[in-house]
Structure 1
Amino acid sequence: MRVIFLSDVSGSGHAGEVKEVKNGYARNFLIPQKLAVPATHDQLQRLEIIRKAGEERRLKEEQDLRALAERLAQTPITLKAKVGPTGKFYGAVTPAQIAEELSRLTEREIDRRAVVVPAPIHEPGTYQAEVRFAQGIVATVQVAVEGESG
C-alpha cells in the first residue's frame, strides 16, 4: 500500500514522503496512529500544493533575510559603554548588546546567538561584527563603540 507519511517514523519514512509499505503495517499501525494516510490521487494533489506553498514561503523568507542583511550591512551602529581611568571598558561589549541595538534599529528580532564578534570588545573604537542568518546568509555590520566616563 502506498502511503504519505504525516510525521517522521523511525525506520519507515519522513514527513511528506510517499512510500510503499506492507498493507497490515499501514492499516493496523500507521493510519490509526495518524502517522500516515493512504496515497490517493486527492491526497497526492494536496501534498503537492502543500509542498509548493512551503517552497514559496521558504523563498520569500530567504529574500526577506537577504534584504535585511543588505540593510544591516549599510547601517553602522553606535554603542556607548562606561570606561575606567585606563581607557578600557568595565566588562566588554557583548553580542547581546549588539543584537539588541540591531533589533531596535531594524524593528525586527535578531537573536544574540546570530551575532558573532571575532574578539571581545574592551576598548573604544570601530569593529566588525557578523550577523549569521539561516540559509547561510551573513551580514557584516560596522559597530562603533564610544566610551563614556563613569
Structure 2
Amino acid sequence: MKLILTSEVTGLGAPGDIVEVKSGYGRNYLLPRGFAILWTRGGEKQISSIKKARDAREIRDLGTAQEVAGQLKSLKVVLKTKAGDSGRLFGSITTGDVADAVKAAGGPLLDRRRIEIAPAIKSLGSHRVSVKLHPEVSAALDIEVVAA
C-alpha cells in the first residue's frame, strides 16, 4: 500500500514522505489516526504544502541545533503540578507540559513531538528528558517537578 505521511512516524518517515507499507498497517493504524493519506496523483500535490509546514517547524542546520542544545543544557526548568502527600502526581507530565515549561523558563520554542519522556514522569523530583533537535543532535534536559 502506497501512502503519503502527514506526520512523523518513528521508524517509517517524516511528513511528506511517500512510503510503501503492508496494507493492514496502513489501513488499521496509519490512516485512522491521521498519520498518512492514500497516495494519489492529486495527493502528490499536497506533498509540497506538507513539506513547507515541516520545514517551518524544523531546526534547519546542525550548527543551530547544537546552539539550541547548549541553551537547553544551561536552562533550569521547573514544572508545578498537583501531587498527593506521598509525592505521587495526579496524572503524569506530558511532552506538551515540558514544551510549555521550557518556553516559560525563557528557553527556545520546542515542538512537543521532538520531546521524548522515556519512563513516564509520575512523581515529584528531578527528571531527565531527551529532546531530538536534529537527526544528529539530541539534547538532555533536566526538569524539576514540584508540587503546586
TM-score tier by shorter-chain length is 0.5 to 0.7
Structure 1: runs of 5+ lacking an equivalent: 1-59
The structure 1 segments of at least 4 consecutive aligned residues displaced by more than 4 Å after TM superposition are none
Q: Name the TM-score, length of structure 2 as normaliser.
A: 0.54
**Aligned-partner residue type, residue 61 of structure 2:** E
Give the count of matched residue pairs.
Answer: 89
Aligned residue number for residue 109 of structure 1: 109
Percent identity (aligned): 20
Q: Which has more radius of gyration?
A: 1
Deviation at 1:136, TM superposition (A): 1.9
Secondary structure in structure 2 of the residue aligned to 1:96: helix
CA RMSD of aligned residues (A): 1.8
User: Is 107-116 or 71-80 further displaced after alignment?
Assistant: 107-116
Query: In 1, distance between residues paired with 2:97 and 2:82?
Result: 14
Aligned residue number for residue 22 of structure 2: none
Query: In 2, distance between residues paired with 1:85 and 1:135?
Result: 41
Aligned residue number for residue 133 of structure 1: 133
Structure 2: runs of 5+ lacking an equivalent: 1-59
After superposition, residues 19-58 of structure 1 pair within 5 angstroms as none
After superposition, residues 92-107 of structure 1 pair within 5 angstroms as 92-106=92-106
Deviation at 1:87, TM superposition (A): 2.8
Secondary structure in structure 2 of the residue aligned to 1:102: helix
Aligned residue number for residue 90 of structure 1: 90
Query: In 2, distance between residues paired with 1:133 and 1:114?
Result: 7
Aligned residue number for residue 36 of structure 2: none
User: For 1:47-104, what per-residue CA distance to the aligned partner results, in whole angstroms no more than 9, with x for missing partners?
Assistant: xxxxxxxxxxxxx732111111011012121101101244311111111111112233
Larger relative strand fraction:
2
